[in-house]
Amino acid sequence: MKITGYRSLTTRHEWGRPVGDVNGVSAGTTTRQDVLVITTSDGVEGVALGAHAEIEKVFSVLDGEDPRSVTALYDRMLDAVFKLGHQGSLFGTLGTIDSALWDLKAKLAGEPLWRLLGARDRFVPGYASGLEAGLDDDGVAELYGRFAERGFGAAKLKGGRHLDRDLTRLGILRDAMSANSSHPGLMIDANESWHVSQAVRHVRALEAEFDLTWVEEPVRRWDVRGMASLRQQVAAGVASGENLTGLEQVRALVEGGAVDVLQTNAAWGITNLLRVGAMAHAFDLPVSPIGLTYAVAAGAAALPNLLSIEVQDLSWPLGVDVDQVVDDGGTVLGDSPGNGITLHEELFEEVPATAGWAVRSGPHLRPRRAGLRLVPEDDADDDRTDDVPGPSHTPHASGG
């Protein structure tokens, strides 16, 4: 059996709401979903959901190889790009390819991937994380009410900019999750928008009213010293690692005592998840994957130190069926061979160029004043106005 080629497809994910965080909110309610299909000489195909824009940089080292050699092929791809490194979208490309190869391997074995990887339990615990920054308070209550109906007792807020707003919304999340827990888990994700002293003050103010499970990405992803300092000054755990690529980057957080919960991005693939999990396990640290975790839930199920996975939505992309059920506060994995992903390509729809993340001032653009504010903000203005094409304007003074 040999790898013979690939197909690159796209469809859309309809969230039914704008999604985003402190760095911005999507234009509209639809985002693009990339799909990769790896083809073989035996006609079996491996499927993965995830961006893979740089696949041409590494596919030559896979072409003609036996797809069952998954971890060896992962290292082969890393070796192919070691001169320039494996940052950002390239690491995401490797992760998507890796997940497709694991899907292939499990299909060839005739087993669901979670069984192949050695998991004992098909249930994967999770927490609700609706990327709700673009919603008003009523919308937040409605969204997390729907998560509560699926049994969730823990939830994460996208916050970090306005203290009063965070206090109000954490109360909404606590009320919703209390339907299933007498002591609901509450997390807040600042998405790298604070500096250390700001993080300490903000978290302490929240902790005066709430028992926070963790604060996520409070400072820049590489600020080991800053996160370690924050851990000593607040009661909440510190979680980070999702935007670090490769064990050599994540290792610094672990060795530096920077985190209580080590995170990894679902986009980085299953082999990376397993390796990050093993490294964290050696330090008695729990792991919590983030992102579109239904793509790596099978790998998460096999981790002995899994804490929970992030569940961002209760539906799948258009034309995609996944043999999983979101219920009882987590994900229940099915018995379909492979990763349980079935494509109905006739239902795929392209995403307009103006929709989703594809806006110049959109969710992935770091705000100009991030990490530079000295006090909580009282206004709701977006301080990225000078990054947006349009009429001339006068930027407002933002928190000192």
Q: Which domains, ranges and CATH numbers included, belong to the chain?
A: 3-112 (3.30.390.10), 115-337 (3.20.20.120)
**What does the pLDDT read at residue 1?**
93
Convert the pLDDT of each residue in 156-179 to its tens digit: 999 999 999 999 999 999 999 999
d(CA 112, CA 131): 30
The predicted model gives 195-207 an average pLDDT of 96
Q: Is pLDDT of 378 > 70? A: no
Q: Which residue has the tokens 């050696």?
A: 282
> What are the DSSP calls for 162-202, one per residue?
-HHHHHHHHHHHHHHHTTT-SS-EEEEE-TT---HHHHHHH
- pLDDT at site 151: 98
Nearest C-alpha neighbor of 15 from the set 28, 29, 26: 29
- Residue 220 clears pLDDT 60, i.e. is over it: yes
Given a cut of 70, is residue 382 above it in pLDDT? no
Nearest to 67 by CA among 93, 96, 38, 34: 38
Q: What is the pLDDT of residue 24?
A: 87
pTM (2 d.p.) = 0.92
CA 59, chain centre distance (Å): 25
Q: Are 261 and 238 in contact (CB under 8 A)?
A: yes
User: Rounded to whole angstroms, how far apart are CA atoms 314 and 294?
Assistant: 11
Q: How far is the C-alpha of 366 from the C-alpha of 364, rounded, in Å?
A: 6
Q: What CA–CA distances, in Å, run from 53 to 25, 57, 58, 320?
A: 23, 9, 11, 20
- Report the chain's mean pLDDT, rounded to a whole number: 91
**How far apart are the C-alpha atoms of 117 and 104, rounded to whole Å?**
13
Query: Residue 353 above 90 pLDDT?
Result: no
